[in-house]
Structure 1
Amino acid sequence: MIQLTNVSKQYDNGIVAVNDITLRIEQGEFVYVIGPSGSGKSTFMKLLNREVIATAGKMVVGKFNVSKIKKKQLPFLRRDVGVVFQDFKLLPNLTAFENIAYALEVTGASGKEIKQRVNEVLNLIGLSHKVHQYPDELSGGEQQRIAIARAIANKPKVLVADEPTGNLDPDTAMEIMQILEDINQSGTTVIMGTHNDYLVNQRKHRVLRLEQGRLISDLYKGDYREIN
Structure 2
Amino acid sequence: MRIGIVGAGWLGGSVGRAWVRSGHEVMFSSRHPERLRSEIRNLGALASAGTVAEAAAFGPVVLVATPYAALPDIGPEHAAALAGKVVLDATNPWGGEPLQADVERDGVAITSARLLPGTRLVRVFSAVDASDVEASSLGRGRKLGVPLAGDDADAVETAARLVRDAGCEPLVVGGLASARSFQRHGPGFRANTDYAKLRRILGLTESA
Q: TM-score range by the shorter chain?
A: 0.3 to 0.5
Alignment TM-score, normalising by the size of structure 1: 0.32
Alignment TM-score, normalising by the size of structure 2: 0.34
Structure with larger RCO (C-alpha < 8 A, sep 6+):
1
Higher helix proportion (structure 1 or 2): 2
Higher strand proportion (structure 1 or 2): 1
